């Protein structure tokens, strides 16, 4: 990256690769017409923050290069110094999946990073939680109203007596009945629910509330669950008895959870999810590369990192298959892309459905440019494994967990895969939060950090303004991850109690 700063007005134009013929404005207010960039063009018009400037004359049909890759073709002749706005960038075809590179650029193993630990709750299955929560699972959406009322009373009447327990959460969702449970794609929501119940932050204390007549059997939610931990509302004598029974059973688990304390755990016990939402053109310049640097640190320290969002890696898939640790991983990456291509086509949509008006306002011309910035979250290491949506992670290292890009579906699926903490980058800004795990929000630009001082945990905008390096923000984030995982620091979302509901991915029909 070259950050050009003139002495006076300090215009900032950011180029990601020497081959690029466009660069992105880093200044909060954009740059005005007539601004002269040292060793660069003079702007012919105002260009907003995060948007692209033509570094040379681009004839109609010319390749537009960012990150050293073709992000599109000039829809008309674009003079040097122009704003290369969205309508000037013609979307290239998606890369084919049949002749992708395979394992040709596998990075060498990075040197191990030693000496870092966090304070976690050790679980019976060997995993460790970053929180000590009682999760009340549900096998069907019918029970949600009763479970919500029971959780309210548990929080008011029981929780104060168990101060080592961080909270009680209802795992409500919209699955379990009224769905085609034998359709092939029903496997996705079913394994998601089963694996959510096993999230390390729930301490292995599993209870399930079922109705009694649903399609999804409560006993299948958790293998080997004790009969006493399944409460079937149709077996109870009315509402009051339902609430009483749930509270009674919850207290058994609260007692056990309350006996636990944080103990030092190696970073190899951590599974961290990386996600972005409300992206802009700076996402791939500031926040995502810094997150990528932190990803490398976690992997070097023996931990596990999940990155996701199929439609946001699809157009950069060749860069990932090149980094696949072995051909199996490359084939699995391609399998997940193919599945999603078919899924979108089946619904008469395609990858262009991804970019939002906010992405575009933030300077992202299309899904190719968005994807090239998005994959920066994965850092620079070899890709060690691939998970289908909702599968539980089964190895250490850098993993691609295939999920939709929807923030809430991705978050839910990553929690099913076993993350105990999520890092979420945002350019446009979203107040996203999850109840089961802490979410650290990383902003892409100084102006967002200034506007949302009580929501953005880490300001990566300092990279664009030259006030910090990617490495510095990467280390800051790595240390914050350990602090939050240890309960030493609280995220803004935790402080305000900002929690989005679980949102299952159900590609199968409802009935």
Of residues 351-380, which lie at the interface with its own copies (CB under 8 A)?
351, 353-354, 356-359, 361-362
Q: Considering the rule CB under 8 A, would residue 146 count as an interface residue with its own copies?
A: yes
Fill in the DSSP letter of residue 404.
Answer: -
CB 240 within 8 A of CB 325: no
Among 142, 246, 294, 480, the residue binding its own copies under the rule CB under 8 A is 142
Whole-angstrom Cα distance, residue 445 to residue 426? 9
Q: Which of residues 444-473 bind its own copies (CB under 8 A)?
A: 451-455
Stretch touching its own copies by CB under 8 A, among 45-53, 286-294, 340-348, 376-384: 340-348
Among 148, 394, 471, 490, the residue binding its own copies under the rule CB under 8 A is 148
Among 407, 457, 476, 494, the residue binding its own copies under the rule CB under 8 A is 407
Name which of 223 and 235 has its Cβ closer to its own copies.
Answer: 235
Name which of 9 and 152 has its Cβ closer to its own copies.
Answer: 152
Name which of 52 and 173 has its Cβ closer to its own copies.
Answer: 173
Q: Which of residues 311-330 bind its own copies (CB under 8 A)?
A: 311
Which H helix or E strand runs over 70?
A: strand 69-74
Beta-strand runs (E) in 156-276: 167-171, 207-210, 230-232, 263-266, 271-276
Minimum CB–partner distance for residue 336 and its own copies (Å): 14
Q: Is the dihedral of CA 187, 192, 197, 198 positive or negative?
A: positive
Q: Are strands 63-66 and 52-54 parallel, antiparallel or unpaired?
A: unpaired
Minimum CB–partner distance for residue 410 and its own copies (Å): 8
Name which of 80 and 244 has its Cβ closer to its own copies.
Answer: 244
Site string for its own copies, 410-439 (x = CB under 8 A): ------------------xxxxxx------
| Those residues with Cβ within 8 angstroms of residue 152's Cβ, 6 or more apart along the chain or in another chain | none
Whole-angstrom Cα distance, residue 316 to residue 94? 9
Stretch touching its own copies by CB under 8 A, among 27-35, 172-180, 189-197, 481-489: 172-180
Q: Which of residues 387-406 bind its own copies (CB under 8 A)?
A: 404-406
Burial 393-413 (b: 16+ CB within 10 A, else e): beebbbbbbbbbbbbbbbbbb
Minimum CB–partner distance for residue 467 and its own copies (Å): 21
Among 2, 17, 87, 234, the residue binding its own copies under the rule CB under 8 A is 234
Exposure of 424 in the CB half-sphere (CA atoms within 13 A): 31
The strands making up 385-387's β-sheet, listed across from edge to edge, are 385-387, 397-401, 304-307, 271-276, 421-426, 439-443, 458-459
Stretch touching its own copies by CB under 8 A, among 89-97, 111-119, 120-128, 175-183: 175-183
């Amino acid at each position: 990256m070259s950050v050009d700063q003139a002495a006076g007005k300090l215009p900032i134009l950011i180029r990601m690769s020497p081959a690029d013929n466009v660069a992105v404005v880093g200044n909060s207010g954009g740059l005005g017409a007539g601004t002269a960039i040292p060793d660069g063009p003079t702007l012919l018009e105002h260009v907003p923050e995060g948007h692209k400037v033509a570094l040379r004359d681009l004839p109609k049909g010319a390749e537009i290069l960012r990150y050293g890759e073709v992000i599109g073709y000039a829809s008309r002749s674009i003079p040097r110094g122009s704003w290369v706005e969205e309508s000037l960038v013609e979307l290239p075809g998606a890369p084919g999946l049949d002749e992708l590179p395979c394992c040709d650029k596998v990075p060498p193993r990075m040197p191990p990073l030693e000496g870092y630990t966090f304070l976690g709750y050790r679980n019976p299955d060997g995993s460790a939680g970053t929180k000590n929560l009682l999760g009340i699972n549900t096998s069907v959406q019918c029970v949600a109203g009763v479970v919500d009322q029971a959780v309210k009373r548990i929080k008011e009447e029981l929780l104060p007596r168990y101060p080592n327990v961080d909270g009680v959460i209802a795992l409500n969702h919209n699955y379990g009945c009224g769905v085609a449970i034998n359709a092939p794609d029903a496997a996705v929501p079913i394994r998601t629910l089963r694996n959510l119940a096993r999230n390390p932050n729930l301490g292995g204390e599993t209870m399930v509330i079922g109705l009694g007549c649903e399609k999804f059997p409560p006993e299948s939610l958790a293998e080997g669950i004790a009969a006493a931990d399944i409460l079937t509302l149709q077996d109870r004598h009315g509402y009051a008895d339902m609430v009483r029974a749930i509270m009674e059973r919850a207290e058994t688990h609260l007692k056990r959870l309350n006996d636990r304390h944080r103990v030092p755990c190696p970073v190899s016990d951590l599974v961290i999810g990386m996600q972005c939402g409300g992206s802009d053109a700076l996402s791939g310049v500031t926040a995502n590369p810094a997150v990528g640097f932190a990803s490398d640190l976690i992997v070097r320290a023996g931990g596990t990192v999940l990155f996701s969002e199929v439609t946001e890696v699809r157009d950069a898939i060749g860069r990932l298959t090149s980094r696949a640790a072995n051909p199996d991983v490359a084939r699995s990456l391609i399998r997940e892309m193919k599945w999603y291509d078919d899924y979108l086509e089946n619904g008469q949509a395609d990858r262009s459905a991804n970019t939002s008006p906010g992405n575009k306002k933030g300077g992202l011309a299309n899904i190719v440019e968005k994807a090239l910035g998005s994959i920066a979250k994965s850092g620079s290491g070899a890709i060690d494994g691939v998970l289908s949506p909702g599968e539980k992670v089964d190895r250490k290292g850098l993993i691609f967990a295939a999920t939709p890009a929807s923030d809430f579906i991705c978050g839910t699926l990553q929690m099913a895969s076993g993350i105990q903490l999520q890092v979420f980058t945002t350019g446009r800004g979203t107040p996203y939060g999850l109840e089961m795990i802490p979410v650290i929000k990383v902003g892409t630009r100084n102006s967002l950090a200034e506007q949302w001082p009580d929501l953005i945990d880490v300001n990566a905008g300092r990279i664009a303004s030259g006030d910090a390096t990617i490495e510095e923000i990467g280390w800051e984030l790595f240390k914050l991850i350990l602090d939050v995982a240890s309960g030493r620091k609280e995220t803004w979302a935790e402080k305000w109690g900002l929690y989005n509901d679980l949102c299952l991915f159900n590609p199968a029909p409802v009935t």
